[in-house]
Amino acid sequence: MPVYPCNACVEFEEGKKMLYVMTRPKLAKFLKALQDDFELVVFTAAGEQYAHVVLSTLVTEKIDYKTSFSYILSRNQCTYISQNNLYLKDLNLLLGNRSLKDIVLIDNKVQSYSAQMENGIPIADFVGDPNDRMLKPLLKFIRKLRDVEDVRPVIKEAFFKA
């Protein structure tokens, strides 16, 4: 049986449920490697309480999520598309003093960033595999993005070639 670094009772629309959280291997190392060169924001289609429970598991890996991420955006900041039963993450929410040419979204659901497809990097679902190695090549790719004028053509070429 797997060991879960965190479990908590979370209130969902359909009632309270026990939540067991296991993070992708090397997630803490991945985030620490990005912190110095990038502004990190969490944008999830999950509810706010769920997001905070999941992020609190990072504390066990010496990451204070409250100071590591500039913002934690959740379902309340998504646009709900009822005909598709989809929560869309509109990156325009992050603009302010930022430009879409500098924003990258990593997500396991391509549909959730379909409004700005060129900003999104798809990642496979994490299903608890302790041998998962998705983050190492992703880190290498993202590090290359810090020196480009516009991330969108680089992402499009790497992930969405026609």
Residues whose CB is less than 8 angstroms from the CB of residue 16 and which lie 6 or more positions away in sequence, other chains included = 9, 10
- For 59, other C-beta atoms within 10 Å of its C-beta total 14
pLDDT tens digits for 108-143? 999 999 999 999 999 999 988 999 999 999 999 999
Domains of the chain: 27-159 (3.40.50.1000)
Number of DSSP helices (H) and strands (E) in the chain, helices first: 5, 8
What is the reported pLDDT for 131?
A: 94
The residue with greater pLDDT, 51 or 108, is 108
Going by C-alpha positions, the residue among 74, 21, 19, 17 that lies closest to residue 44 is 74
CA dihedral 44, 48, 54, 56 (to 10 degrees): 130
Is pLDDT of 64 > 80? no
| Tokens 């990642």 belong to residue | 123
Mean pLDDT confidence for 39-66: 82
- State the pLDDT at residue 55: 83
pLDDT above 90 coverage of the chain, percent: 57
Euclidean distance between CA atoms 85 and 161, whole angstroms: 27
Share of the chain above pLDDT 70, in %: 87
Question: How does 42-56 read in b/e, with b if 16+ C-beta sit within 10 Å?
Answer: bbbbbbeebbbbbbb
